[in-house]
Amino acid sequence: MKNHFSILASVIICLGLLPAYSQPGAPAGPHLGGAMSKLFGDNQAFSAGLEMQVADKSGKPITMPGKLSFDTGKSRFEVNMADMKGGQLPPNAAAQMKSMGMDEMVTIARPEKKAAYLIYPGMQSYTEIQLSNADSAPTNGDYKAEITEIGKETVDGHPCTKNKYVVTDNEGVKHESTVWNATDLKNFPVKIQTLEQGDDVTMLFKNVSLTKPAASLFDPPAGFKKYDNIQQLMQQEMMKRMSGGMGMPPH
């Protein structure tokens, strides 16, 4: 059992791709609030496939494809461990996570509630995470954007204007990004490159729908068991499976 916790800890470290929420150990999804939301302009409600690529200071890249839904600050990111590539994931990590019912994960951010939810559909369980003031910052209001065109390129079949964005928050802090705005998709940013906490982050959006997502997507499913924190969720759910005779794969 100790080995399974070690594998899970390694996976969680690798999942800490973008600004983490205030609860230690919680994997973070794409952080689209605050200054980042300014990059989406008038496109404040959409759904899309999202491939996140992160290269940390050591230069070791991680690729995480998933599905994103967004509506005026609220976000939902769905990911499957089996689809992740790169980083320092243990060789059997995906199989171990699947055996524990933790291969599929959903992260919902609700800045207006200063809360986020980490959901494991395979466990029918979730935990609520308190957001910091930075993570629950206003969606678009108190931010100013300076946009400079630096070229024309095609991304995933979309003709794009390549722009440099410098977004300044209400404390005078500047956030720089390179953004490819699709001219055939209401200038939606189909590709974003930025620096987050020392890591180079690239977000590539595919199959974009500008239809407003259903409100129910931004709440944890009814009937799922709520835990006080992710450590409690992992421990109790794993013990439940082991006591119920659900064996772990060999290691």
Q: Using 50, 70 and 90 to split pLDDT, how confident is the model at 43?
A: very high
What sign does the CA torsion over 114, 30, 25, 103 have?
Answer: positive
Could you tell me if residue 186 is inside a domain?
A: no
User: Distance (Å, rounded) from C-alpha 108 to C-alpha 21?
Assistant: 11
- Specify whether the CB–CB gap between 198 and 191 falls below 8 A: no
Through-space distance between the first and last CA atoms of the chain, rounded to whole angstroms? 10
The pLDDT-based confidence of 244 (bands split at 50, 70, 90) is low
User: Among residues 208, 152, 150, 204, which one has the least CA distance to residue 176?
Assistant: 150
- The answer to whether residue 180 is domain-embedded is no
Domain-located, residue 86: yes
How far apart are the C-alpha atoms of 7 and 1, rounded to whole Å? 10
Strands 125-130, 225-227: parallel, antiparallel or unpaired by DSSP?
parallel
Domain holding 121, by residue range, is 2-142+211-243
* Domain presence at residue 82: yes
Tens-place pLDDT, residues 101-156: 778 889 998 888 888 898 989 889 999 988 766 555 555 567 889 999 999 999 99
Per the domain annotation, does 26 fall within a domain? yes
Asked if residue 155 is part of any domain, the answer here is no
Distance CA 182, CA 152 (A): 10
9-28 pLDDT, tens per residue? Answer: 444 434 443 334 334 334 45
Q: pTM for this structure? A: 0.79
Residue 152: inside a domain, yes or no? no
Domain-located, residue 169: no
Considering its fold, how many domains does the chain have in total?
Answer: 1
